[in-house]
Amino acid sequence: MARSSSRFDTKKVNSELVTLTYGSLVAQMVKDVENPDDVNKQLDRLGYNMGIRLVEDFLAKTGSGRCLDLKDTADKIQTAFRMYLGVQPNVANWSPAGDEFSFIIDSNPLTDLVELPEDLKGLRYCNIICGAIRGALEMVQLDIQSWIVQDQLKGDANTEIRVKFIRKLEDAIPAGEE
């Protein structure tokens, strides 16, 4: 019998598998749900669910500790992008207060092989990434907002994902205690 993975580049296949699975999922959602805004919400929620699980995997694999500041957080998310999506986004556009920044991705594997039809301009295809960042950070006690500023699918040069720090979450008080 042939040796395993003799004929294909497994990394590339895996990336295409994720791209195509995600694409088919979005297509199904667009069919199920009338309003693109509702699809955006679903995608965000799905990403959130993935994020809260991915962060555990990330911490286990990298052994990284708590973030010292938001700059450190941005660097770690950058590492996560490289691990999971195989892309290295640039961190840029810091707000003067230092509580907002952007990830700039020049080639986004999720949107490979994807074109948005005219009537779906309201669809934020990559919303799953925003959800994933939010979910992951919530598990390390950071409350953030994340949204898409630029989108290659809508003719922009890059994909830009904005992250805004809201507040630090405190450890919850155990049930039954004041």
Partner 1 sequence: MDDTLFEFLHSEVVNYVVDSNISNKDKEEDLSNLEYIGFSVGYKIIERLTREMPRFKDELDTMKFICTDFWSAIYKRQIDNLRTNHHGVYVLQDNEFKFLTRMSKGKQYLELAPRYVAFTCGVIRGTLANLGINCLVTAEVQTMPGCKFHIQVHRT
Q: Which residues bind partner 1 (CB under 8 A)?
A: 1-2, 4-8, 10-11, 13-18, 20-22, 24-25, 27-29, 32, 42, 46, 49-50, 53-54, 57, 83-86, 109
d(Cα 12, Cα 161) in Å, to the nearest integer? 24
CB of 10 to partner 1, least distance (A): 6
CB of 165 to partner 1, least distance (A): 25
Nearer Cβ to partner 1 (13/166): 13
Nearer Cβ to partner 1 (5/64): 5
Rg (CA), the chain: 18
Residue 121 DSSP class: T
Beta strand pairing status for 142-150 and 100-105?
unpaired
SS3 (DSSP) at 164: strand
- Say if residues 58 and 138 touch (Cβ distance below 8 Å): no
Report which of 109, 116, 114, 100 is spatially closest to residue 161, judged by C-alpha positions.
100
Nearer Cβ to partner 1 (135/148): 135
CB of 11 to partner 1, least distance (A): 6
CB of 162 to partner 1, least distance (A): 22
Nearer Cβ to partner 1 (85/163): 85
Q: Which alpha helices (DSSP H) does 86-119 contain, by range? A: none
